Chains A and B, each alone.
Chain A
Amino acid sequence: MFEVRIHSRGGQGGVTAARLLAMATLHDGKYATACPFYSAERRGEPIVSFVRIDDTPIKVYSQIRQPDMVVVLDTSVMDVVDVLHGLKKGGRIFINSAGKREFAGFECRNVDLTGIALREKLVVSGSPILNTAVLGALAKMGIVTADSAKKAIREMFSDERNVNAADAAYKEMSV
């Protein structure tokens, strides 16, 4: 089982990102469970959502304590939340950031998703939408296939700019 924790702020699409990742996983022929943290969600508040991915149906409902991967959609969350909490030794990190970041003992990648969203004019109520672009980054990191990621995005959004954003994130991530 591969467990992912997504950190974002309410309104940035962290929960939708979890949903999209689960949908893409399904297209890869795997099983997934996605859930928001069970509490009141307010716009702008740091929120967490989770995705479990496995080759067999998932029977676990308790919360993820030791994720294999952490995704940070908004670096400002890192000032108030320990985003690395419980991350498995050697675990993977993806951060929405233009600058490269290092965390000892973990493998960290970054792409400027916000820049991509602004370029693609994916902005809702003043917030750049990151949940589709992040799928491209996750595809580059091998969590899902790029084809399944795009298929999932197209199932949820008719606006092709969402797919373009994912493509851009895929291309811009340095390996």
Chain B
Amino acid sequence: MKKIATGNKAVAEAVKQAVPTVVAAYPITPQTEIVEQIAEFVTSGQMSARYIAVESEHSAMAACIGASITGVRTFTATSSHGLLYMHEMTNWAAGARLPIVMANVNRSLGPGWNIWAEHTDALQERDTGWLQVYVSTVQEAYDATLMAFRIAEHNDVLLPVMVNLDGFLLSHIMQPVDTVELGDFIPAIHLPYAIDPKHPAGYGTLTGPDQQFKFRWDIERSMRDSVKVIEETEKDFAKRFGRKYDFTEDYRCEDADVIIIALGTLGKEAEVAVDLLRNEGIKAGSMRIRWLRPFPKLNLKGKEVVVIDRDYSFGFGGIVANEIKAKTGIRLYSVIAGIGGQEVTYDDIAGFVRTRRMGEEFWFGVNAHV
């Protein structure tokens, strides 16, 4: 059924349909509407989940971990400082192989106190063992949340999944969303090592130097296996509900000379820039990265690449640009734009392409190449 919803409401609707047993969360702007809506679903009896109103994000993730290890479906949502406050527990969730699903509404980090869109929050979590997907429309926020449960809980994955949506630009914007009749798209959860009081076992015990690396490798093995699970899940989603997704969303890339790469809404706005540039005779394309973990295979051979990072690693560079460089070995033009919700229009994006200087980094608004 088609309706108009914000990104936050769309995520909450998907969570309702996924029927989690436990939702533990703490409100934070611009995510609050997700957990408010879920709390309302629970209060009004539309959701049977146990909603745990915790006193902090660290506790939210800890509660999800405690619930998840009993073998039930869990969800939480956060943003920015809330995510960073969870950091110890996000590592634990992945290490304990718990398929928790979390929506993270991407927001800048303070100080200065800024509530607007930026990806540095989630990118600081990229080494935790969580799968990460970044969405670009309200519809995609809904679809990706549904798929996240199936992917996380798959026996070949059993890792947590973070669905990232841009603060305000997606969390608060209203767009059409086509909700689905889920049917058996998400199978019943089965955790192979759930706590069972009849068969006591030790969890999280001291693990020595002769064992720890095996558990770490096992996370990586599952991360690699998750590639085919993501492919299968997206394929089945397309078959059932008609909407196709992939590791990247490619727009006019086939014959492109120059490719723009960005995450989230900037990656969608880039498509408008591509049309503008094509009209001027510049053969541009857009490759919006959706899955950052596991990192996709990118075919960029022979292309000039302009990467827009709405994030930064101080003393190093744009995080996405450097991940692409490390994985593909290509030379690229790194643009730092959209930090703390900085306005970036399709005209601006087209400008980045027109004035690109391969091998250099450019801070939009600062007007400095380095």
Of the listed stretches A26-34, A128-136, A140-148, name the one at the interface; the rest are far from the partner chain.
A26-34
Do A23 and B116 touch (CB < 8 A)?
no
Do B4 and A63 touch (CB < 8 A)?
no
Do B272 and A26 touch (CB < 8 A)?
no
User: Please, which residues of chain A bring their CB within 8 A of the CB of B173?
Assistant: 33-35, 61
Of the listed stretches B141-149, B296-304, B341-349, name the one at the interface; the rest are far from the partner chain.
B341-349
User: Please, which residues of chain A bring their CB within 8 A of the CB of B272?
Assistant: 59-60
Q: Indicate if A165 sits at the interface (CB-CB under 8 A).
A: no
CB-based nearest A residue for B137: A57
In the complex, A33→B272 CA distance in Å?
16
In the complex, A57→B271 CA distance in Å?
12
In the complex, A101→B265 CA distance in Å?
39
Residues 340 to 363 of chain B near chain A (Cβ within 8 Å): 341, 343-346
Do A58 and B175 touch (CB < 8 A)?
yes
Report the minimal beta-carbon distance from B279 to chain A, rounded to whole angstroms. Answer: 16
CB-based nearest B residue for A51: B174
In the complex, A58→B137 CA distance in Å?
9
Query: Which has the most chain B C-beta neighbours within 10 Å: A34, A58, A59?
Result: A59
User: Please, which residues of chain A bring their CB within 8 A of the CB of B265?
Assistant: 61
CB-based nearest B residue for A152: B4
Do B172 and A36 touch (CB < 8 A)?
yes
User: Please, which residues of chain B bring their CB within 8 A of the CB of A33?
Assistant: 173-175
Report the minimal beta-carbon distance from B213 to chain A, rounded to whole angstroms. Answer: 43
Dominant secondary structure at the A interface:
mixed
Q: A23-B4, A26-B4, A60-B272 are in contact. Are A35 and B176 (CB under 8 A)?
A: no
Q: Indicate if B169 sits at the interface (CB-CB under 8 A).
A: yes
Q: A26-B4, A38-B116, A38-B341 are in contact. Are A59 and B172 (CB under 8 A)?
A: no
Do A62 and B345 touch (CB < 8 A)?
yes
Report the minimal beta-carbon distance from B306 to chain A, rounded to whole angstroms. Answer: 18
Do B168 and A38 touch (CB < 8 A)?
yes
Do A32 and B346 touch (CB < 8 A)?
no
Q: A58-B175, A60-B272 are in contact. Are A19 and B169 (CB under 8 A)?
A: no
Do B346 and A60 touch (CB < 8 A)?
yes
Q: Indicate if A22 sits at the interface (CB-CB under 8 A).
A: yes
Q: Indicate if B97 sits at the interface (CB-CB under 8 A).
A: no
Q: Indicate if A95 sits at the interface (CB-CB under 8 A).
A: no
| Residue of A18, A22, A36, A59 touching B269 (CB-CB under 8 A) | A59
Q: Indicate if B293 sits at the interface (CB-CB under 8 A).
A: no
Query: Which has the most chain B C-beta neighbours within 10 Å: A22, A36, A61?
Result: A61
In the complex, A165→B107 CA distance in Å?
40
In the complex, A59→B116 CA distance in Å?
19
User: Please, which residues of chain A bring their CB within 8 A of the CB of B269?
Assistant: 59-62
Q: Indicate if B58 sits at the interface (CB-CB under 8 A).
A: no
Residues 27 to 68 of chain A near chain B (Cβ within 8 Å): 31-36, 38, 57-63
CB-based nearest A residue for B272: A59
Q: Indicate if B214 sits at the interface (CB-CB under 8 A).
A: no
In the complex, A155→B1 CA distance in Å?
13
Query: Which has the most chain A C-beta neighbours within 10 Å: B169, B173, B272, B344?
Result: B173
Do B172 and A38 touch (CB < 8 A)?
yes
User: Please, which residues of chain B bring their CB within 8 A of the CB of A19?
Assistant: 4, 174
| Residue of A32, A36, A63, A155 touching B176 (CB-CB under 8 A) | A32
| Residue of B4, B268, B341, B344 touching A32 (CB-CB under 8 A) | B4
Query: Which has the most chain B C-beta neighbours within 10 Å: A18, A19, A35, A155?
Result: A35
In the complex, A18→B166 CA distance in Å?
20
Do A32 and B169 touch (CB < 8 A)?
no
Q: A23-B3, A59-B268 are in contact. Are A35 and B172 (CB under 8 A)?
A: yes
Give B contacts to A, CB under 8 Å. Answer: 2-4, 116, 137, 166, 168-169, 172-176, 265-266, 268-269, 271-272, 341, 343-346
Chain A to chain B contacts (Cβ below 8 Å), 7 pairs:
A26-B4, A32-B175, A34-B173, A38-B116, A60-B269, A61-B169, A61-B265
Give A contacts to B, CB under 8 Å. Answer: 18-19, 22-23, 26, 31-36, 38, 57-63, 155
Given contacts A34-B173, A38-B341, 6 further A-B contacts (CB under 8 A): A35-B172, A35-B173, A38-B172, A58-B175, A59-B268, A59-B272
